[in-house]
């Protein structure tokens, strides 16, 4: 019942008006020239419709009155010149100016949406409903604003023309206008119902579209090509695709009958209305004689024109409703206020990081259970444990990508919630196990920023510390080498281990005293992993480093090791202390992996 009331509220006239005004305000903000041109064009073409009708009436009047040929020719030539000038202006706008304005609108609007997306809490990506609205907003935003402006131009055009044409029809016979408006009103009702059906169908399609788009992406991406060819994963993807298509077919069948009968009713009312109007006008001409032949010619043209104008006006109103229904999602996305917000304090140089009774739960699943520990300046700390033990979740809490459900995290003795969010995150250099390499140069990937040429030594030093030098000398363009072939035909694709070293170099290019390495060498073999971690330890000898891994190549060099299991710290100490406990979990993992790390 609540959902029904909510849907009815969305369909209310006030909501529709406010939502369309919202879109219009966006257009005014990002493309004011577009709005001005839209209004001017709508008025101009609305008047032109009436001018053409009046031209028909004048032409028939001149012929009926027996005017000289030259007089009639002058009128025809005048209209030809008028139309030429009008269409020159029209095509100059549509083919030259409008595409430029639209691209500028698209750029500015997408920039704001991207900035908004950057500010979203990470938890938003865990909410499928919000994520659906987010994707829909990004994909539809500029198109909806453009369509609304185009429809606004047509609304102005049809409204101006309808008023002027109606005035002419009323002078011929007032009853004609009443008949036309009656059947148009009936058609409005049916089309509004059809719009509601279309919106509900689109809502049902949305999650299924995400699924089919995912399958399309998996078959398209180069990263997935090997697995698709060497395994039977494609069978699973095709199965999921088939299920989604079957569900789409069910949705189509669900709404088909309603859509069919509404379409029949809509066009039936239109055809019936046109027929009655023409019969009425013929009766007045042939039986009563109240309509002259000249007025009849202009009247028939006016009636057909008005009928078309009102039908198109109705279509624009219906589309306006579609725009308004979409805006609810866009407004929800833009109005979202991050729950993770910063304070006003500026963090100083790193001295300590402390966790006190930290718990974290996602919905009903408790992931971290009462973590308490303290890290001091210069410490080399290792968080170890099997996958799913809660290590990476703890890192996200330290970075304030999430906030603890209970407990607190202190930076230099102050709760991290009191610090400015960007300033706090800037104090920490982190490389995650699900790192990303972007379609840009090596230097830009290391800097995670635009390479303006002033930090090249920083890039080279960072790559040296991440043990990427051996690969770098093989690249013809050095740090200017474009990575991936997403944008560049001659782009370079690196191996997984080489990409990981690029990601590691990012933390060395950032002037941070606290480094977090989350599975920094997972793409390497154990020997290479050991050498890399040893290099990282030496390069970061003056920094505080937190290593997170389920492999133990780093623990021999760590000042303290925390063993995680099921969201809790079950063992704590140095490597030697923990390996001496033959009954402990750490001892068992170490001896299972020791063959890879012993010389």
Residue-by-residue DSSP string for 368-421: EEEEEEEEETT-EEEEE-STTSSHHHHHHHHTTSS--SEEEEEETTEEGGGB-H
Q: Determine if the pTM surpasses 0.75.
A: no
Rounded to 5 degrees, φ, ψ at 289 are 70, 20
Pairwise CA distance, residues 200 & 21, whole Å? 23
pLDDT at 594: 66
- Helix and strand counts by DSSP (H, E) for the chain: 19, 10
* More confident of the two residues 503 and 596: 503
Asked if residue 420 has pLDDT above 90, the reply is yes
Q: Of 282, 311, 339, which residue is a domain's last?
A: 339
Residues 11 and 134 in one domain: yes
- Indicate the pairing of strand 365-376 with strand 352-362: antiparallel
Pairwise CA distance, residues 299 & 489, whole Å? 63
* More confident of the two residues 375 and 195: 375
Both structure tokens of 397:
């809490």
Residues 334 and 441 in one domain: no
Sorted by sequence, the CB contacts under 8 Å of residue 479 that are 6+ apart come out as: 441, 442, 443, 446, 456, 459, 460, 463, 472
Average pLDDT rounded to a whole number, residues 510-522: 81
Residues 47 and 153 in one domain: yes
Residues 27 and 148: beta-carbon distance below 8 Å: yes
pLDDT band at 358 (very low <50, low <70, confident <90, very high): very high
Residues 334 and 448 in one domain: no
CA distances from 301 to 169, 225, 399 (A): 10, 61, 70
Residues 35 and 165 in one domain: yes
- Quick count: other Cβ atoms within 10 Å of Cβ 170? 13
Residues 334 and 454 in one domain: no
Pairwise CA distance, residues 39 & 304, whole Å? 25
- Decide if 187 is inside a domain: no
**Residue found under tokens 């509004």:** 192
Average pLDDT rounded to a whole number, residues 444-464: 89
Average pLDDT rounded to a whole number, residues 415-420: 95
Both structure tokens of 309:
């104008």
CA distances from 2 to 8, 41, 166, 352, 373 (A): 10, 43, 44, 51, 47
Asked if residue 104 has pLDDT above 50, the reply is yes
- Decide if 496 is inside a domain: yes
Residues 323 and 144: beta-carbon distance below 8 Å: yes
In what order do the strands lie in the sheet containing 428-431?
428-431, 514-518, 544-549, 380-384, 560-565, 568-573
Percent of the chain with pLDDT over 90: 16
Average pLDDT rounded to a whole number, residues 285-305: 71
Average pLDDT rounded to a whole number, residues 334-351: 88
- Decide if 428 is inside a domain: no
- Decide if 20 is inside a domain: yes
Strand pairing partners for 362? 365
Question: In 475-599, which residue ranges form alpha helices assigned H by DSSP?
Answer: 496-509, 526-539, 575-580, 585-593
Rounded to 5 degrees, φ, ψ at 377 are -55, 130
- Decide if 102 is inside a domain: yes
Average pLDDT rounded to a whole number, residues 399-410: 93
**Domain interval for residue 94:** 1-172+319-339
Asked if residue 83 has pLDDT above 70, the reply is yes
3-state secondary structure of 429: strand
Sorted by sequence, the CB contacts under 8 Å of residue 347 that are 6+ apart come out as: 411, 412, 419, 420, 423, 424, 427
Give the per-residue SS3 of 279-342: HHHHHHHHHHCCCCHHHHHHHHHHHHHHHHHHHHHHHHHHHHHHHHHHHHHHHHHHHCCCCCCC
Residues 105 and 38: beta-carbon distance below 8 Å: no
* More confident of the two residues 298 and 492: 492
- Decide if 64 is inside a domain: yes
Q: Of 485, 502, 519, which residue is a domain's last?
A: 502
Average pLDDT rounded to a whole number, residues 363-373: 88
Pairwise CA distance, residues 430 & 444, whole Å? 17
Residues 334 and 451 in one domain: no
Residues 36 and 163 in one domain: yes
3-state secondary structure of 59: helix
Q: Of 284, 310, 339, which residue is a domain's last?
A: 339
Residues 329 and 462 in one domain: no
- Decide if 112 is inside a domain: yes
232-245 pLDDT, tens per residue?
788 888 888 898 89
Asked if residue 5 has pLDDT above 60, the reply is no
- Give the number of domains in the chain: 2
pLDDT at 339: 86
**Residue found under tokens 């060395």:** 508
Burial 235-270 (b: 16+ CB within 10 A, else e): eebeeebeebeebbeebeeeeeebeeebeebbeebb
- Decide if 370 is inside a domain: no
pLDDT at 11: 46
554-575 pLDDT, tens per residue?
677 788 999 999 899 999 999 8
pLDDT band at 460 (very low <50, low <70, confident <90, very high): very high
pLDDT at 77: 93
């Amino acid at each position: 019942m609540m959902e029904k009331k909510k849907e009815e509220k969305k369909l209310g006239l006030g909501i529709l008006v406010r939502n369309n005004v919202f879109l219009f305000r966006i257009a005014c903000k990002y493309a004011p020239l577009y709005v001005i041109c839209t209004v001017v064009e709508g008025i101009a073409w609305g008047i032109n419709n009436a001018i053409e009708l009046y031209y028909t009436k004048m032409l028939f009047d001149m012929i009926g009155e027996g005017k000289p040929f030259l007089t009639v020719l002058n009128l025809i030539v005048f209209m030809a010149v008028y139309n030429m000038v009008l269409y020159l202006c029209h095509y100059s706008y549509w083919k030259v100016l409008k595409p430029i304005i639209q691209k500028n609108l698209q750029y500015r609007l997408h920039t704001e949406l991207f900035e908004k997306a950057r500010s979203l809490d990470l938890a938003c990506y865990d909410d499928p409903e919000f994520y659906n609205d987010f994707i829909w907003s990004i994909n539809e935003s500029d198109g909806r604003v453009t369509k609304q402006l185009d429809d606004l131009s047509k609304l102005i055009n049809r409204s101006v023309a309808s008023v002027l044409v109606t005035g002419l029809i009323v002078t011929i016979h007032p009853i004609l206008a009443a008949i036309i408006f009656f059947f148009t009103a009936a058609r409005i009702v049916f089309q509004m119902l059809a719009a509601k059906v279309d919106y509900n169908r689109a809502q049902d399609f949305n999650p299924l579209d995400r699924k089919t788009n995912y399958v399309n992406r998996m078959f398209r991406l180069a990263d997935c090509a090997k697995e698709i060819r060497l395994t039977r994963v494609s069978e699973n993807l095709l199965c999921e695709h088939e299920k989604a298509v079957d569900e789409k077919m069910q949705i189509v069948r669900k709404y088909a009958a309603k859509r069919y009968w509404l379409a029949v009713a809509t066009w039936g009312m239109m055809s019936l209305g046109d027929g009655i109007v023409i019969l009425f006008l013929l009766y007045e001409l042939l039986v009563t004689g109240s309509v002259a032949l000249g007025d009849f010619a202009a009247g028939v043209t006016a009636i057909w024109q008005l009928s078309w104008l009102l039908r198109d006006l109705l279509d624009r109103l219906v589309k306006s409703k579609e725009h308004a229904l979409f805006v609810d999602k866009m407004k929800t996305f833009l109005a979202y206020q991050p729950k993770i917000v910063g304070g006003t304090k500026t963090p100083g140089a790193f001295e300590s990081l402390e966790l006190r009774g930290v718990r974290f739960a996602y919905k009903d699943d408790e992931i971290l259970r009462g973590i308490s520990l303290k890290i001091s300046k210069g410490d080399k700390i290792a968080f170890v444990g099997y996958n799913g033990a809660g290590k990476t979740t703890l890192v996200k809490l330290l970075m304030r990508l999430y906030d603890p459900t209970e407990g607190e995290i202190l930076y230099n003795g102050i709760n991290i919630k009191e610090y400015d969010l960007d300033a706090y995150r800037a104090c920490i250099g982190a490389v995650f196990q699900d790192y990303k390499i972007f379609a840009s140069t090596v230097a830009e990937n290391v800097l995670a920023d635009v390479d303006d040429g002033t930090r090249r030594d920083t890039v080279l030093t960072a790559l040296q510390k991440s043990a990427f030098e051996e690969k770098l000398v093989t690249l013809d363009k050095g740090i200017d080498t474009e990575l991936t072939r997403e944008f560049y035909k001659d782009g370079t694709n690196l191996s997984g281990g080489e990409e990981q070293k690029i990601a590691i170099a990012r933390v060395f290019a950032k002037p941070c005293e606290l480094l977090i390495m989350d599975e920094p060498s997972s793409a390497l073999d154990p020997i290479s992993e050991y050498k890399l971690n040893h290099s990282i330890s030496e390069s970061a000898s003056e920094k505080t480093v937190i290593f997170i891994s389920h492999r133990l190549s780093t623990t021999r060099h760590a000042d303290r090791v925390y063993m995680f299991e099921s969201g809790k710290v079950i063992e704590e100490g140095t490597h030697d202390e923990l390996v001496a406990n033959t009954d402990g979990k750490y001892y068992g993992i170490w001896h299972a992996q020791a063959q890879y790390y012993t010389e």
